[in-house]
């Protein structure tokens, strides 16, 4: 009911820290900003397993009538991050109640700013030592899915989610009167040519066997119906599942935009957002074991899914330790849970949360044992 945007998760962090301490879990706060790290030590020797939940909300006005509807105007948990926090706290409760049987140590990573898209929250936490002291051996993350049926776990080995490179193309022309376009360099006309030409990167310049998306999602230019403006601004996103394709795509987008502008005597300035998230790559051997573990949870089903062109900064945790990112479906038409993530009408089937909590706890327990992957 009190959602907080990226880098502003102050009250959420306090709630998480308080709950962890009541479970007898040691807590470190202000990790990478507003992040929280809990550490639970098992009674037996073993590996260090990290479990992660993101905490931030989105700038969306909630249009769902639920008892816990957002009380903050223009902010809601439209991507289920509140459920991620709830499930990880549930896993912490389960594991703390069975610490005498637990091998190794479990780190609970409550991460800010996943929705930022650039710097994010994982990198600041990593830079602040979240994956060290003790060093993490395996890391796992769970996300709610509004497209998978309730009680279905979905995951895959290898590339799971895309790298989300965003771009701005500023087209600089020469403004003038709309009745005399021949005396101008019309950036609106040129921007239309650029948008069309960029689709050739997808269809003619990138290997068709490589998953790849380019979308121009925003065009801004002009102030009046009879004034040709001096500039136009295009903004969009590139989604790739392979680093080589990612490098090629950014190169082609830049060269096509500049070449098309040059052909019409305009100039293009192309800018890519720095620190975009890497591809989320699940460790194959770890993920195969995760599939086997999830399939032991009664009342659920586990499927191997196709790659998803959305993005996640959990990818940065996976660069520091082998692990798996997976989804839990919450699609349930009978309960009105039919909307996808980032929608103002996003609604979660709360009955699935217990399965998410259990899955995280089971992964921590099983991977805490030595020599679990071979």
Beta strand segments in 244-374, E: 267-272, 280-282, 301-304, 323-331
Q: Are 308 and 161 in contact (CB under 8 A)?
A: yes
Q: Distance (Å, rounded) from C-alpha 342 to C-alpha 350? A: 17
User: Which H/E stretch holds residue 289?
Assistant: helix 284-294
Q: Enter the tokens of residue 6.
A: 């990226």
Q: Which one is catalytic: 138, 252, 277, 326?
A: 277
The DSSP letter of residue 306 is P
Angle at which helix 187-200 crosses helix 243-263, to 10 degrees, equals 140
Residue (of 63, 60, 64) closest to 74 by Cα position = 60
Q: Is 326 a catalytic residue?
A: no
Q: Distance (Å, rounded) from C-alpha 132 to C-alpha 320? A: 10
Q: Which one is catalytic: 210, 235, 269, 350?
A: 350
Q: Are 259 and 190 in contact (CB under 8 A)?
A: no
Q: Are 232 and 191 in contact (CB under 8 A)?
A: yes
What are the backbone dihedrals phi and psi of residue 86, each rounded to the nearest 5 degrees, phi first? -60, -45
Q: Distance (Å, rounded) from C-alpha 278 to C-alpha 289? A: 24
Spell out the residues 6+ positions from residue 16 whose beta carbon is closer than 8 angstroms to its own. 36, 55, 85, 89, 110
Active-site annotation, residues: 277, 350
């Amino acid at each position: 009911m009190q959602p907080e945007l990226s880098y502003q998760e102050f009250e959420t962090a306090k709630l998480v820290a308080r709950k962890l301490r009541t479970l007898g879990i040691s807590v470190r706060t202000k990790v990478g900003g507003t992040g929280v790290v809990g550490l639970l030590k098992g009674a037996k020797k073993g590996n260090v397993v990290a479990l992660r939940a993101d905490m931030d909300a989105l700038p969306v006005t909630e249009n769902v009538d639920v008892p816990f509807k957002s009380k903050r105007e223009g902010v809601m948990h439209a991507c289920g991050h509140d459920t991620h926090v709830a499930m990880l706290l549930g896993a912490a409760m389960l594991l703390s109640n069975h610490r005498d049987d637990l091998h190794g140590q479990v780190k609970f990573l409550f991460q800010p700013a996943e929705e930022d898209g650039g710097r994010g929250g994982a990198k600041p936490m990593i830079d602040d030592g979240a994956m060290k002291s003790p060093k993490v051996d395996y890391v796992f993350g769970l996300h709610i899915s509004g497209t998978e049926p309730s009680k279905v776990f979905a995951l895959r080995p290898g590339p799971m989610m895309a790298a989300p490179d965003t771009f701005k193309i500023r087209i600089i022309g020469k403004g003038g009167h709309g009745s005399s376009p021949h005396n101008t360099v019309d950036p609106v006309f040129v921007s239309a040519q650029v948008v069309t030409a960029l689709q050739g990167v997808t269809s003619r310049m990138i290997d068709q066997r490589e998953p790849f998306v380019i979308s121009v999602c925003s065009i801004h230019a002009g102030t009046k119906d009879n004034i040709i403006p001096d500039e136009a601004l295009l903004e969009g996103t590139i989604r790739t599942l392979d680093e080589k394709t990612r490098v090629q795509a950014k190169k082609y987008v830049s060269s096509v935009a500049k070449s098309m502008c040059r052909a019409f005597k305009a100039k293009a300035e192309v800018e890519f957002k720095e620190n975009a998230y890497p591809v989320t790559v699940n460790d194959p051997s770890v993920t195969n074991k995760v599939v086997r573990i999830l399939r032991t949870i009664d009342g659920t089903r586990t499927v191997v899914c196709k790659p998803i062109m959305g993005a996640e900064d959990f990818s940065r945790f996976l660069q520091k330790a082998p692990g798996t990112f997976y989804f839990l479906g919450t699609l349930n038409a009978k309960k009105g849970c039919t909307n996808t993530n980032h929608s103002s009408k996003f609604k979660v089937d709360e009955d699935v949360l217990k399965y998410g909590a259990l899955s995280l706890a089971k992964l921590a327990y099983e991977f805490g044992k030595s020599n679990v992957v071979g």
